[in-house]
Amino acid sequence: MSEPINAPEYAAIAAAKERPTYRPPRNLNGVSEAEATGEVAESYEHFRVHFGRPNVPGILQCFATHPPLLRHMMDMAKDLIFSDGHLGRRTKELIATLISSRNECAYCADSHGFFLHMHGGSPDELQSALAGNKDISALNGKDRALLAFACKVNEQSSAILPADIEALRRADWSDAQIAETIHVTSLFATHNRVANAFGLESQGLLSLLDREPVSEGDRHE
Amino acid sequence: MSDVDVSTSLFLADVENNPQPSPYLDAMQAARQSGAEYWQIWNLLAFRPKLAHHLARMSHEIMFEEAPISPALRELIAAYTSSLNHCTFCMKAHAAVAAHLHGDETLVWSVIRDLENSGLPEMDKALLRFARKVTLDSGSIVADGMVPLHAAGWNDTAIFYATTACALFNFYNRWVSANGVALVSDDAFRSLGARMAQKGYNRD
């Protein structure tokens, strides 16, 4: 994690006139930025510098209750989510927003919905994903097939058969892209549950868009 | 005696056939040379060694290092969560780890089959009931949900570990099932589970 990542979404949060206010989790205590000491304080500073975001998100404050976990979780998220892999950021954020909405995780749905917008997701895609609707009419058949598969990974993974994989290959998805879809979806099965069990509320990042629309020129495909 | 076909392929051929240099490739080659069964989750880990490294470190911290919940109970949470998600591979693997740590295979399977009527102490049952909610209905968890856990004697750190262990297996269950990881024989589950019970999740 030596190089800062390309995260226009965090630059937009840093530049916003009204920054999201931090709300402590409802059910269990996290480690607030003011309370952080030692290894946690170092990890928080690493995050602020590396991701270019002024405040540490609530989900990391939950993992910070066990410091060694915090760094592993940050490293894994950086590799898997905050990077273009076999799937682009827009597709990953579309999956993340849809799955988080279907898992009733308001915190993750808001953050990743905001990231989806920043990485070129259309208003239709965003609204449909936030409603938990996998049949997004604005998408082509190829993308819809991938989202349907992600929902099956999320909700019925034990019923997945080789035929499901074949359908994706016919829709022109590579094995590496299918594997990444499984990784990302499964990771959100974890994050959504941690956020919900701690009782993290939405940070209201999407409401920043209402107050202060981000110009098209600032968005990245 | 094996009742399963261990030659079954993963769903994604490009994943199965592209193991990268890693401790998991070494482990697979060693198993093949000695004629031992191995679990195909190693193929998934060998495909993306960097991801595998983070995942193994995280899993080791959550499941194996010192915590207010014993590794035996954390492994029971893993097996129980896997049963709720119908992931037979993870259920059998972590039932084997838990059985080794508890020294009681019958108890472990009684919990998986019928938690309420099992012989598990009431305090531990409270934690597994919570794991059930985290797995099946996390969106409806409210602050009052912590009351029975605190009443049973668990502190917030223990609840954190239970939540995180359960959430971690909600990852593994989907990852394993969606990739079509095959079962191994019960004997292989026992011997691989015993290794994991003793050494944990790190391989590099």
Interface confidence (ipTM) of the complex: 0.90
And the tokens for B92?
């059998």
Average pLDDT for A64-88: 85
- Please determine, for residue A20, whether its predicted confidence score (pLDDT) is greater than 50: yes
CA distance B20 to B53: 13
**Is residue A120, in this structure, part of any structural domain at all?**
yes
What is the extent of the structural domain holding A122?
89-198
Place of tokens 């994050």: A191
**Is residue A167, in this structure, part of any structural domain at all?**
yes
Neighbours of B116 (CB within 10 A): 9
Q: How far is A220 from chain B (nearest CA, A)?
A: 25
Out of A54-58, A190-194, B45-49, pick the least confident.
A54-58
Q: With contact defined as beta carbons under 8 Å apart, do A142 and A129 qualify? A: no
CA distance B163 to B138: 10
Taking an 8 Å cut-off on Cβ atoms, the answer to whether A75 and B54 are in contact is: yes
Residue A221 pLDDT grade (very low, low, confident, very high; cuts 50, 70, 90): very low
Amino acid at B190: R
CA distance B133 to B146: 12
Comparing alpha-carbon positions, the chain A residue that sits nearest to B159 is: A28
**Is residue A14, in this structure, part of any structural domain at all?**
yes
**Is residue B87, in this structure, part of any structural domain at all?**
yes
Element (H, E) at A12: helix A8-15
For chain A, give the number of residues: 221
The domain tally of chain A equals 2
Contact residues, chain A, for B140 at CB < 8 Å: 104
pLDDT in tens, B60-75: 999 999 999 999 999 9
**Between B11, B15, B51, which is nearest A79 by CB?**
B51
Instruction: List C-alpha distances in Å: B46 to B28, B29, B164, B198.
Output: 9, 12, 24, 22
CATH number of the domain encompassing residue B166: 1.20.1290.10
User: According to the model, what pLDDT value does residue A220 have?
Assistant: 54
Residue A91 pLDDT grade (very low, low, confident, very high; cuts 50, 70, 90): very high
- Please determine, for residue B165, whether its predicted confidence score (pLDDT) is greater than 60: yes
Average pLDDT for A173-177: 95
Q: How far is B203 from chain A (nearest CA, A)?
A: 15
User: According to the model, what pLDDT value does residue B118 have?
Assistant: 98
- Please determine, for residue A181, whether its predicted confidence score (pLDDT) is greater than 90: yes
Average pLDDT for A208-215: 65
**Is residue A66, in this structure, part of any structural domain at all?**
yes
What is the extent of the structural domain holding B104?
68-199
Average pLDDT for A156-168: 97
**A108 and A182 belong to one structural domain:** yes
- Please determine, for residue B2, whether its predicted confidence score (pLDDT) is greater than 50: no
CA distance B67 to B162: 10
Taking an 8 Å cut-off on Cβ atoms, the answer to whether A160 and B178 are in contact is: yes
Q: Where are the alpha helices (DSSP H) in chain B?
A: 13-16, 23-34, 41-47, 49-63, 71-84, 88-102, 105-113, 122-137, 147-151, 156-179, 186-199
Q: Could you give the percent of chain B with pLDDT greater than 70?
A: 97
And the tokens for A129?
């994903």
Contact residues, chain A, for B181 at CB < 8 Å: none
Q: How far is A107 from chain B (nearest CA, A)?
A: 11
Taking an 8 Å cut-off on Cβ atoms, the answer to whether B12 and A165 are in contact is: yes
Q: Which DSSP string corresponds to A15-58?
A: H-SSPPPP---SSS----TTT--HHHHHHHHHHHHHH--SS--H
- Please determine, for residue A93, whether its predicted confidence score (pLDDT) is greater than 80: yes
**Is residue B32, in this structure, part of any structural domain at all?**
no
Instruction: List C-alpha distances in Å: A207 to A114, A204, A214, B179.
Output: 9, 5, 11, 38
Q: Which of A83, A158, A178, A192 to mutate to test the interface with B (most CBs of B within 10 A)?
A: A158
**Is residue B56, in this structure, part of any structural domain at all?**
no
Contact residues, chain A, for B145 at CB < 8 Å: 27
Q: Which of A157, A168, A185 to mutate to test the interface with B (most CBs of B within 10 A)?
A: A157
**A96 and A78 belong to one structural domain:** no
**A95 and A166 belong to one structural domain:** yes
